[in-house]
Structure 1
Amino acid sequence: MSLYYGLMGYFLIAALILYYGKQHGKKDSIYLFCTMSVLFVLAALRAHTIGNDTQTYVWLFENISRMSIQDLNTNSRYELGYLYYNKAVSIINGNPQVLLAITSLILIVGYARFIRKYSMNVWLSVYLFLVMGYFGSAVNILRQCIAMIVLLYSYSFIKRKKILPFLICVILATTFHKTAIVFVLAYPISKMRINYKTIGAFTAGTIVVYIVFTRALNVLFSYLPIYQYYLGGKYMEGGIRTASVVSFGITLCIFLVGLCSGAYKRESKLVNENGIATIKENNENQIMTIFLMFSLSVTVISFKFNLLDRMSEYFSVFSIVYLPNILRNFKNKNLSVLLTAVVIVAFTIYFTTIQLYRPDWNYIYPYEFFWQH
């Protein structure tokens, strides 16, 4: 764990030096470069044993490099977008480490762009990106993470109410991971407002869907026989997995903090990186609160069908900017600082516990470079 403790310490010390020392107009960009570039190096140069699925992706890449373009269309196991992406990389260089490096660059830059654009507290968002497990996902579930980056990019179209480019992004994301189709619901639910009626409707709807889900899924599969292999499989076991329960608990806590802070209100106080506060019409927190609530609903339903827990991540990922934003907006600055410290300690303990007792969730510990294996 010394590597990761070193990273955490580096992230926090860099934040103290940059944000609480001499003011600098580009401190967010500097901080992102100094921290995310380190994560990129670790992701790009990792051994093939780092990440549960890395070896599978390396095997797939090596096979695709020997296949023709026409042969790719006959592979029904993986999405075409990811297959063509692999083929393009293999034409550039057939070394699978190049695939991991290019993919890592896409993911790390994509997350950095998202944080830079939407977080009011960049350093805390970067810290959460590491300790909440999103870095671990970036070296593990590559297809879904590429899809997630595309969907995070589409968020700006939701805010600007441009449905056509939003739908194009969703379709593109599904060519990397089919589960990304669930994000098409982000557009209509983003227009909802958080109030007691909305929360009640989501709660009631979740309970109803949970009760009838298995029967409804059987009916759906009878019309879509291509997906019948899910029946009786591991995704239909219905067991409440530890990972899903933990994910639900974390998202619920963040959601409740958002409600208590009043972050869901459309009129918000925004503080820029120079410490200047402005009050303006802003639906950022409103939308992200809705997204977290939807993520909670999907996670509960995933207790019946485990595959759905991946779909909830397309919405819960917004927590890495949502939580820092609501902590920044607390009127009582002492309370804001105290809660920030609590968040840092709590998620540091969470990250340590997962790596020591549940390393199989991502297999990023112990870390190895590719030349060490």
Structure 2
Amino acid sequence: MIPYIILYFLSTLLSLYTYLKERTNAIPFLLFILAVGIYAGSRLNLGGYDYDVYELMYNNTNSDFSDLVSPGYFLLQTTEKGYIFVMSFFRFLHAGFNTFFIFLGLFCSFGLFFVFRQYSKFPYLILTIFLAKGYLYYFFTAQRQIIAMVICWIALKAVIDRKLIPFLLLVVLASFFHTSAIVFVIVYPIVTLKITNKGVIMLLLGSILIGVLKIGIILGTFISGFLPFGADKLTGYLEGETTGVNILNFIEMVPILFIILHFRKNIEKKIDNFNALFNIYLVFVLITFAFYDFVFIARLKGYFLIGYIIILSSLCYIPQKKKLGIGIVFLLLLYCFAVYARELLTFDDGEGYLPYRSYLFNNF
């Protein structure tokens, strides 16, 4: 667990330092975030069952790109063409599976470099929150989805600039890596909405009511009845019912939402495109409560995670005094560390990410 702690500790120190200096140099941040990508990309037999699945997919992909037209291996028959193309390309280059994964880690972290710098003057802070809120799951397990998510997050620039065609093209590109990316199209119309605080509270209560009535699992069971034979994995998502509401979601999200609403006007003055990011954040929160027991939809909220981590980082803008602000940042990152550690210790009964093993140091 020590390598994970070192990674988070370094990111926390850099977050605190750049917050005090109010300046982030691009090159050091790029090098650090690329290191974060390599850290995940060079993993060896980590990330649970999905790691083995991805390795089987890669090793059974033909280097002549024929699998794009007629995939022979059964796992490739339901895999998006964009991911098959990239695998075929690296197979054509005679690259090993671990080299391929390192490339994916670098690609995703390079994309995050531009996204995090685009929407905050404290990109290290956003990165550190992301380490706790999405890095382990998406970089180590949901490999195809994080590629799609990064492409969608890059497309946010086109949304804010109101460039529909480039936005749609990027979303389509993302869907070639994970079909679920198509859900991101709803971002284009919703970012211009101006929702009042009362409206936000009504939406929150409505989403909680949907969750309490278990509409998610009812909807999932209904849809699964129309799926063709062989769609076992999707059926599992649709019919899978969780053991109950994660109380940590309420403890974290509800108070933070009301804090953001209370200081909304002050924060709005300090963050460019706040309304757009807030609406994306709100979608993330509403999905969390409305479909906590509907795994298929709950997983889709990852595309809106960018709004959540940016708005969460905006807590540092609330105080006028720097000393109070650094205290808020410290408490926020301390809480995020608890979330980070919990994920490490509970995923696959503590064996999904632990102990850390790297392909780069496998022979040492």
TM-score range, shorter chain: 0.7 to 0.9
The answer to which of 197-206 and 108-117 deviates more is 197-206
Residue 296 of structure 1: which of 285, 295, 311 is its match?
A: 285
**Superposition map of 1:47-66 within 5 A:** 47-50=44-47, 52-65=49-62
Whole-Å separation in 2 of the counterparts to 1:65 and 1:345: 46
Does 2:335 correspond to 1:372?
A: no
Q: Which residue of 1 aligns with 2:39?
A: 42
Q: Which residue of 2 aligns with 1:319?
A: 308
Does 2:338 correspond to 1:336?
A: no
Q: How many residues in Structure 1 have an aligned counterpart in Structure 2?
A: 356
Structure 1 residue runs of 5 or longer lacking an equivalent are 271-281
Task: Quote how far apart the aligned CAs of 1:128 are.
Answer: 1.5
Task: Quote how far apart the aligned CAs of 1:183 are.
Answer: 1.0
Q: Deviations over 1:343-363 (max 9, x none)?
A: 011111222232223355892
Identity value in percent:
20
Whole-Å separation in 1 of the counterparts to 2:142 and 2:294: 19
Aligned partners of 1:255 and 1:289 also within 8 Å: no
**Superposition map of 1:1-373 within 5 A:** 1-15=1-15, 20=20, 27-50=24-47, 52-65=49-62, 68-69=65-66, 72-74=69-71, 75-195=76-196, 196-201=198-203, 203-204=205-206, 207=209, 212-213=215-216, 216=219, 225=228, 229=232, 233=236, 235-240=238-243, 246=248, 250-262=252-264, 267-269=268-270, 282=272, 284-358=273-347, 360=349, 363-370=352-359, 371-372=361-362
| RMSD of aligned alpha carbons | 3.2
Please identify which structure carries the higher helix content: 2
Whole-Å separation in 2 of the counterparts to 1:335 and 1:232: 49
Whole-Å separation in 2 of the counterparts to 1:158 and 1:285: 13
The answer to which of 47-56 and 98-107 deviates more is 47-56
Whole-Å separation in 1 of the counterparts to 2:265 and 2:302: 21
Find the residue that maps to 1:65 and give its secondary structure.
coil
Q: TM-score, normalised by structure 2?
A: 0.84
Q: Relative to 1, partners in 2 of residues 1:248 and 1:112: Cα closer, same or farther, differing over 3 Å?
A: farther
Find the residue that maps to 1:47 and give its secondary structure.
coil
Q: Relative to 1, partners in 2 of residues 1:54 and 1:233: Cα closer, same or farther, differing over 3 Å?
A: closer
Matched to 2:358, the amino acid is F
Structure 2 residue runs of 5 or longer lacking an equivalent are none
Q: Relative to 1, partners in 2 of residues 1:229 and 1:120: Cα closer, same or farther, differing over 3 Å?
A: same
Task: Quote how far apart the aligned CAs of 1:160 are.
Answer: 0.8
Matched to 1:298, the amino acid is I
Task: Quote how far apart the aligned CAs of 1:8 are.
Answer: 2.7
Matched to 1:372, the amino acid is N
Q: Which residue of 2 aligns with 1:275?
A: none
Aligned partners of 1:240 and 1:303 also within 8 Å: no
The answer to which of 207-216 and 40-49 deviates more is 207-216
Task: Quote how far apart the aligned CAs of 1:334 are.
Answer: 3.9
Aligned partners of 1:79 and 1:177 also within 8 Å: yes
The answer to which of 85-94 and 142-151 deviates more is 85-94
Aligned partners of 1:129 and 1:320 also within 8 Å: yes
Task: Quote how far apart the aligned CAs of 1:365 are.
Answer: 2.4
